[in-house]
Amino acid sequence: MTNATAERPLHSVSVAGIVVRDDGRVLVIRRADNGAWEPPGGILERHERPEEGVLREVAEETGIAVEVERLTGVYKNLTLGVIALVFRCRPVGGEEQLSSESTAVCWLTPDEAVQSMSEAFAVRVTDALDSVTPQVRSHDGVRLVAA
């Protein structure tokens, strides 16, 4: 490894699903590691296409099988160097279940979901519900950072 390569910042890519039922409720989890409410998601594996990663992560964390509808946003955590690709999804099967990564799996109204999350994650829900085109945003892990 050259010095130039060693000095380059490393980024990881994560995926998340904003899963919306026909009644408008949104699927959320309470994370086991920090107790935060968030949409289900996680690190994209090297061999996966982003859409495949969303299907896997949502199913692993919630027990719900989904179909990806569209990309709704790209979010960069400036503190951790994580770039998240967020997709709006719809449920197509399965039943809610806990995993080692979640202590609760719930279907909340959009308002309940937004109120239960930090700004950096709540905006993912509102972007998926309100925006026609994908949004690009940066945050510090909790709050949005102005462009």
- Tell me the pLDDT tens digit for each residue of 86-117: 999 999 999 999 999 999 999 999 999 999 99
Residue 3: predicted pLDDT? 52
Mean pLDDT confidence for 19-25: 98
Put the strands of the sheet holding 82-94 in their side by side order.
41-43, 12-19, 82-94, 64-77, 135-139, 144-145
Q: How far apart are CA 80 and CA 140, in angstroms?
A: 8
Q: How far apart are CA 32 and CA 53, in angstroms?
A: 20
Q: How far apart are CA 50 and CA 27, in angstroms?
A: 19
The region that residue 135 occupies, defined by phi over 0 for left and psi between -120 and 50 for alpha, beta otherwise, is beta
| Position 51 confidence tier, pLDDT thresholds 50, 70, 90 | very high
State which H helix or E strand residue 7 sits in.
helix 3-7
Contact 31, 38 (CB under 8 A): yes
Q: How far apart are CA 67 and CA 87, in angstroms?
A: 10
Beta bridge partner(s), residue 77: 82, 139
Q: Model-level pTM?
A: 0.91
Instruction: Answer whether residue 44 shows pLDDT above 90.
Output: yes
Range 9-145 has CATH code 3.90.79.10: yes
